[in-house]
Amino acid sequence: MREASVGHQCPECVAVGRRTVRPARTAFGGTGLGVHGYATKALIGINVVMMLLAVASAGGRGLAGGGFGGLLGSATPLHRWGAVLGYASYAIDGPAHGIAAGEYYRLITAMFLHYGLLHIALNMWALWVLGRQLEVALGPLRFLGLYLLAGLGGNVAAYLFSAPNAQSAGASTAIFGLFGAFFPVLRKLGRDTSALIPVLVVNLVFTLTVPSISIPGHLGGLAVGFLVGAGLAYAPRQRRTAVQVSVFAAGLALLAVLTLVQTAALTGT
């Protein structure tokens, strides 16, 4: 027997009760599991593992000694394989590589690669701060969909508006998407967003003034995150899940079309 608020209950009764009681939902239809931060922790873990693999691929190098006064790391063979790259050859008369050459996986892998210890430390700190709050509000699945679609949107923007031979990588595209989603989510919850504006402004100034940062990637992630966040937050309650799924599907379809259009422009096909 197990103690209850009134008397005792048998284990079988408790199990039946758990199966018949509907789990609590957030204001946006997500499950209450977001309070545990499982999705945020998993994303941080994947980024850390990819950082370790990148360093291992370079024989232990790549954590520092790169840009930003030597505080950023240098590119590794794993970056060469997985960073956003439009269309270029690594050697004279060598084969073309990049997204336009059919390496579309780069649009996903790039958001899990970082240039050195400082780069990943800053991004993972931002993911921890922003991710925990949004995961609680949206639930793990909706939060994960937002993160991945925003990161993909930022990388597609980098593909569209960067030089074909320019490489970029980092979770910043997805993290700027979290910044963008915060505004409609907090507005829908009736909370003040003024404290978030200075943080976003500082990040935008940093993006626009520090060399080698992908401006299209950050702004693209911000825009996609805002639009997806608005779709999740303002979906009508009666058809909330259907509308939210449609938001994800429409965003993914649009990004796919833009990618194919840019590929055709770069390859002339």
Q: Between the CA of residue 221 and those of 42, 139, 157, what are the distances in Å?
A: 20, 20, 8
Contact 142, 191 (CB under 8 A): no
From CA 113, how far away is CA 108, in angstroms rounded?
A: 10
Show Cβ contacts of residue 213 under 8 Å, excluding neighbours closer than 6 positions.
172, 206, 207
Q: Exactly one of 97, 114, 119, 218 is catalytic; name it.
A: 218
Which residue, among 138, 136, 174, has the nearest Cα to 156 in the 3D structure? 174
Q: Which residue type does 32 have?
A: G
Structure tokens at 217: 């990637």
Residue 172 designated active-site: yes
Structure tokens at 260: 């194919």
DSSP 6: S
Tallying the residues shown for the chain, one arrives at 269
Q: Exactly one of 172, 194, 214, 246 is catalytic; name it.
A: 172
Residue 8 designated active-site: no
Taking CA 171 as the corner, what is the angle to CA 170 and CA 175, rounded to the nearest 5 degrees?
A: 140
Which residue, among 104, 53, 100, has the nearest Cα to 76 in the 3D structure? 53
Active site residues: 172, 218
